[in-house]
Structure 1
Amino acid sequence: MIPLDTLMLFIVTTFVIVLSPGPAAITVTAEAASNGFKRSTLIIAGIAAANVVFFGLSATGISALIIASSTLFSIIKWIGVLYLLYLGFGAIFSNAGPLSISASNKGRAAIHKTFLRGFILELSNSKALLYFSALLPQFIDISRPIAPQLITLCLITVLLDLFCYSLYAYLGYKSLRMSIKPFIIKWINRTTGCMLVFAGLKMATVEK
């Protein structure tokens, strides 16, 4: 088992990181404002699933290999940068962009697409890769069985993802329930898009 003080430090650290506004939080909020709270849970599930993959990579040591390879790290980083810029400029210049405040079509294909949006967004986040590769090992006691510790920390991270991003989704959903004038919707789209573009540009400066 993980010592209680180490476990609490991990919970607090991860909670602060997850709760901090970022591309994932922006996307979840915008999706809830566009299509309701229920639809935004698909993006949240995608983000959580990507973090499970990160834990799997950390457990097998692949993430350390990615960090060690400048080429692999750069590929992942620039995929994330381009994806954020795509989402951001799509919201800024198109009324029907990915983050536009308007109801989208529903169906199995739309559900899968929404889930994948969250999954790809988090999986291509180079900062998340750095977190799981550099910070996560600090909470692992190599003198104890590794697998139970990773499973415990993974479950905690998933629960924190679900809780924190659900808060953002609720805020977005509440904005949907309010009577929002067209010019405010346009301002929200443009502001959200600019924030995603800014996040993409900041991600481009991340070094391993």
Structure 2
Amino acid sequence: MSIETWLLYLMAILLIAISPGTMAVLSMSHGIHFGKVRSLATAFGSVSSALLLMFASAAGLGALLSASEYGFTILKYCGAAYLLYLGIRLLLTKASGHGLDLQHIKGKGSAKQMFKEAFLVGISNPKDLLFFGALFPQFIDMTAPQGPQLAILAVTWAIVDFSFVMLYASMANVLAPSLKTSNKLHWFDRASGGVFIGLAAILISKQN
């Protein structure tokens, strides 16, 4: 792999990571509720889903999704359904009547649950599906050994993805102390829920 190809790949995934999306919203939600340390599980869930898509793409998922309209449509609707579920769950949260106590909140929500949520959001993320299904194979030189190339691409993605998930979570966690009243936290949850539902609607209405 040439350094030019790697730099182009790095630029592409940086743009994907910077652009707001479902994982950014989930990372901020986890960061503000559970703190930076527990959000490590979110980051690992995001990275794991992306690496799975990456290796599936290398194994032929890209060609399969391109050839099968139904396969992509099924993935699209499954992803939209899960985003809708997350959005409704956040909208239905109730104000507790207590101020935001980070120490108390951090005790809720297991790492397993946070990992699972991030993994499911990531595995159905339309940006990642399109990237790994259509663009990712273009960065692999089929005339050269693929193992070292995949290792470099995977490590690069993992570092960038992990860093940005933690950045979003940390930024949200910094805001947490300013949410002194449960009403403010309640409205943050509602806003996040609305974003998830909106993204689900956009995903459903978007043409393949």
Regarding TM over 0.5, the answer is: yes
Aligned to 1:61: 60
Question: What pairs with 1:36-75 in structure 2 (closer than 5 Å)?
Answer: 36-75=35-74
1:195 partnered with 2:190:
no
Q: What SS class does the counterpart of residue 15 from structure 1 fall into? A: helix
Q: Do 1:19 and 1:164's aligned partners in 2 also have CA atoms closer than 8 Å?
A: yes
Name the count of aligned residue pairs: 201
Whole-Å separation in 2 of the counterparts to 1:48 and 1:143? 28
Q: What SS class does the counterpart of residue 144 from structure 1 fall into? A: coil
Shift of 1:179: 4.5
Aligned to 1:153: 153
Q: Per-residue CA shift, 1:139-176, capped at 9, x if unaligned?
A: 22222222221221111001000111111011111122
Q: Do 1:28 and 1:165's aligned partners in 2 also have CA atoms closer than 8 Å?
A: yes
Q: Do 1:32 and 1:170's aligned partners in 2 also have CA atoms closer than 8 Å?
A: yes
Structure 1 ranges of 4+ moved more than 3 A: 104-107
Question: What pairs with 1:51-200 in structure 2 (closer than 5 Å)?
Answer: 51-95=50-94, 103=105, 105-106=107-108, 110-200=110-200
Q: 1:134 to 1:83 in 2, by over 3 A?
A: same
Consecutive unaligned residues of structure 1, counting only runs of 5 or more, are: none
Q: Which amino acid aligns with 2:3?
A: L
Q: Which amino acid aligns with 1:12?
A: M
Deviates more, 1:175-184 or 1:64-73: 175-184
Q: Do 2:16 and 2:127's aligned partners in 1 also have CA atoms closer than 8 Å?
A: no
Consecutive unaligned residues of structure 2, counting only runs of 5 or more, are: none
Q: CA RMSD in A?
A: 1.9
Q: Do 1:44 and 1:165's aligned partners in 2 also have CA atoms closer than 8 Å?
A: yes
Shift of 1:180: 2.6
Q: Do 2:87 and 2:197's aligned partners in 1 also have CA atoms closer than 8 Å?
A: yes
Shift of 1:104: 6.2
Q: Which amino acid aligns with 1:146?
A: Q
Whole-Å separation in 1 of the counterparts to 2:137 and 2:180? 46
What TM-score do the two structures reach when normalised by structure 1? 0.89
1:205 partnered with 2:205:
yes
